[in-house]
Structure 1
Amino acid sequence: MEQKNDKKVIRSWAFFDWANSAYNLVITSTIFPAYYTIITSDKDNNTIDYVTFMGMRFINSALYNYALAFAFLVIALLSPVLSSIADTRGNKKFFMQIFTYIGGLACCGLYFFEIETLQLGVVLFVLAAIGYWGSLVFYNAYLPEIATPEQQDSVSAKGYAYGYVGSIILQLICFVFVFFPSAFGLSPGSQAPRLSFLLVGIWWMLFAQIPFRKLPKGCSDLKKAGANWLTSGFTELKKVWEQLKHMPYLKRFLTAFFFYSMGVQTVMLVATIFGEKQLHLPTEKLIGTILLLQLVAIPGAMLMSWLSRRYFGNVKVLIGVVIIWIFCCIGAYYIKTEMQFYYLAAVVGLIMGGIQSLSRSTYSKFLPQESPDHTSFFSFYDVTEKVALVIGMFSFGYIEEFTGSMQNSLIALATFFVAGLIFLLLLRKVEPDAVPA
């Protein structure tokens, strides 16, 4: 096994965030959701916009939410199988590559997405999401292998910081194409946004070559090699579940993580569509707002890491952040003006990176550090997050379809955060550094 805390390995690991975060910003947060909403809307603010997909009729934004929920469900079912193969064959890097190319090529294919090709566009959108989230199963599992417990907070934050910087650079490039298409010989309308999707795929696959060259392949487990690869992943998850019975602090943290993840990721994934549909903000303002949100998230992730390390510890910082998320959901319910949206986006940006980074490193520090089988534990972590996302995205879409208003869906998100807060409060006197392995 390679020595931990190697600066070159950590830097190359962080570059995977640099590579794939372009997808997270352009495809899930800014240009794609705005483009999707525009081409599926009848431009009448007094009517509800419907689309037909696979012979069924949906509210356009609900279909968007259902598509993502389906992608997360696929990943929740696939990741145990893939993690099992990676454990027995020692090839987690190989699966990072496979999912990266699935996601990157799907993004390239979105160049052909127009209203006439709605079904193709939604399918490619789902494949891109599967590629992104599938690769993270193996990316996250590298954290305890490349960094010692006392370094994992800062290394995790470094990954998110690289991701925000990389995604912002590409977002600015796409921004220029989208708002000044004639300067580049592009036709006005859909060509510039679609070119952005192509650029995301190329950027993602290109910069992913840095971690692919430097990260260790991993060690095979010959004892597991003879197991049934189709079922052994779920067997490993069952073993993790059994181990959790003897690890009460980790179990409580995972329960808290499950509930507040329903809210965190859903808010991030629907923010642009919310601004466009509820407040009718123009695309350039929405993209500018999300870009600002990403910029604020960089110091936010670093701030949370610093507060945890120097003053409060991981759990107390997470409690404070979840409380802020609850107030953000309540505030979003009452939003009426453009400026209120901008203020709320700034707060969300500050806490967005922090809660993701600190959650990942807190979980990593709660794990038995000498165990060589971190992939199974992180597979459990990722399955927990994906099931939470399935529930969060489906709930948001269903409540909108049932009530006709996105704002009612925000109340459900607030309750998810409250449930997560309750379980975090049960851990308020415990820090992962003090828990015996």
Structure 2
Amino acid sequence: MDTETVTGAGGTEGAGDPGGAAARRREQRGWYFYDWANSVFSTSVLTVFLGPYLTGVAEAAADAAGYVHPLGIPVRAGSFFAYAVSVSVLLSVLVMPLAGAAADRSGRKKPMLGAFAYLGAAATTGMFFLDGDRYLLGGALLVVANVSFATAVVIYNSFLPEIAAPEERDAVSSRGWAFGYAAGALVLVANLALFLGHESLGVDEGTAVRICLASAGLWWAVFTVVPLRRLRDRPRVRRAADGAEPAPRSSWRQLAGTLRDLRRYPLTLLFLLAYLLYNDGVQTVITQASVFGAEELGMDQTTLIGAILLVQVLAVAGALLLGRLAARHGAKRTILGSLVAWTVTVGAGYALPAGEPVWFFVLAAAIGMVLGGTQALSRSLFAQLVPRGKEAEYFSLYEISDRGTSWLGPLVFGLTYQLTGSYRDAIISLVIFFVLGFVLLLRVPVERAVAAVSVTAPGRMPDRI
């Protein structure tokens, strides 16, 4: 294992408290449950059901040429879902930094986490009423739910440096992702049972899909109670610039200060740029895979659910496996290896034969093995690059580089389809995100970046970074 001494003011509050280890473990277990709660939205809603269903609703409302006209703008019905995702994440870019700055400034992360989580859960539950040709309602609920989802994740992620010591963060982050994918798999099993047995239950296929969408919102709401009970707010780090000005103005000022402050840490900025690119590709694959499978490969809903279920199951194992590889080879090297695998996998998706479920399942298995680990290790690696007392601010920038700027991938995907009419061309266009992300991450000297922000406690560096 690599070791290196770095003096800094980081660490976790609990690590230095009497009896802090037990309290920290309790918080960590509560923290995992927010991944358990909200990942069902990402899986059942964004990845499996909403894309094909909302596309079908838009097609039902389309004119003879296959276009819908939101706000008078002609949009091919097959691109509406991708564009709605792009709009939602562009709005997230505006909301997330303000929420992160407000969370750090007020020191009240838990109430803000709860507020955004329950707003998103309510919008998701409201998708039960998405039927007929109500594509605009679907787009509006998607925007509210996805903005709330992304903003809550900013605050959730900002707890990681507070509840885990530097040497724990790869493992804690990986377990959180594993919890999330386990929940996604469990709910997808229930969704699959409902979808396959909808006739025996006396409901049509569309109603079964709407029940699955709404149930994701209810699941999100119920299990958010656990982290809200177990996590605790820390006293905020006071700054000389703190004053009595109104909260929105102070949040804007703090955000501007964060962006100026980030220039002091060019290696952290370089990591964010790399993550912006490669994770944009990851998020677009997640949100558009079911549309690609249904529209281009001719897969039915049962096959799509089964494939995504396979992704969820293997992502649990993949997150834990890549966590172990990171302990041996370093998080950066492990992420770089996963990006090579992503590039190969997306390229294989372009050549996948239509009407062949077996090959679609092979592709799903490949995605599952790298999906959780790429995300978990990126989160824990970034946690090493955050100045103490600015966790939510910096994680708001990270989340912009996560779900926030994943507007670019869906936009490229949607535009490619609109111009070519081919989902194969749309999927292969995502390779550029993985290649450019790999090149930039390769140029990040992680040990120097960690030392620059002094986020580790005095003593040993994390095992391998």
Q: Is TM > 0.5 for Structure 1 vs Structure 2?
A: yes
Quote how far apart the aligned CAs of 1:63 are: 1.0
| Alignment check: 8 A CA contact 1:106 1:127 kept | yes
Give the alignment partner of residue 324 of structure 1, picking from 341, 344, 356.
341
Distance 1:91 1:436 in 2: 24
Specify every segment of 5 or more residues in structure 1 that has no aligned partner in the other structure, as ranges: none
| Alignment check: 8 A CA contact 1:293 1:346 kept | yes
Give the alignment partner of residue 295 of structure 1, picking from 306, 313, 317.
313
Residue type of the alignment partner of 2:43 = L
Q: Aligned residue for 1:264?
A: 282
| Alignment check: 8 A CA contact 2:280 2:401 kept | no
Distance 1:394 1:436 in 2: 34
Give the alignment partner of residue 359 of structure 1, picking from 378, 381, 389.
378
1:284 equivalent in alignment to 2:302: yes
Cα distance change on mapping 1:387 and 1:133 into 2, 3 Å = closer
Distance 1:293 1:201 in 2: 21
Distance 1:436 1:208 in 2: 32
| Alignment check: 8 A CA contact 1:37 1:61 kept | yes
Distance 2:307 2:232 in 1: 38
Quote how far apart the aligned CAs of 1:225 are: 4.8
Cα distance change on mapping 1:430 and 1:316 into 2, 3 Å = farther
Q: Aligned residue for 1:394?
A: 411
- Deviation per CA, 1:94-150: give whole Å up to 9, x if none: 111111111111111110101332211221122111121111010000000110110
Distance 1:436 1:139 in 2: 21
Give the alignment partner of residue 102 of structure 2, picking from 74, 77, 85.
85
Q: Aligned residue for 1:182?
A: 199
Distance 2:58 2:392 in 1: 40
Q: Aligned residue for 1:3?
A: 14
Cα distance change on mapping 1:387 and 1:191 into 2, 3 Å = closer
Cα distance change on mapping 1:260 and 1:48 into 2, 3 Å = farther
Residue type of the alignment partner of 2:257 = K
Quote how far apart the aligned CAs of 1:423 are: 1.0
Give the alignment partner of residue 224 of structure 2, picking from 205, 208, 214.
208
Aligned residue-pair number: 429
TM-score by length of 1: 0.92
Residue type of the alignment partner of 1:194 = R
Residue type of the alignment partner of 2:421 = G
Quote how far apart the aligned CAs of 1:170 are: 1.7
Segment drifting more, 382-391 vs 269-278 = 382-391
Q: Aligned residue for 2:141?
A: 124
Q: Aligned residue for 2:8?
A: none
Cα distance change on mapping 1:281 and 1:114 into 2, 3 Å = same
1:146 equivalent in alignment to 2:157: no
- Identity among equivalent positions (%) equals 30
TM-score by length of 2: 0.87
Specify every segment of 5 or more residues in structure 2 that has no aligned partner in the other structure, as ranges: 1-11, 16-20, 455-465
- Deviation per CA, 1:137-189: give whole Å up to 9, x if none: 100000001101100111101111111111222221222111102333x3223
Segment drifting more, 114-123 vs 144-153 = 114-123
Quote how far apart the aligned CAs of 1:436 are: 6.6
Give the alignment partner of residue 45 of structure 2, picking from 27, 38, 41.
27
1:306 equivalent in alignment to 2:317: no
| Alignment check: 8 A CA contact 2:117 2:148 kept | yes
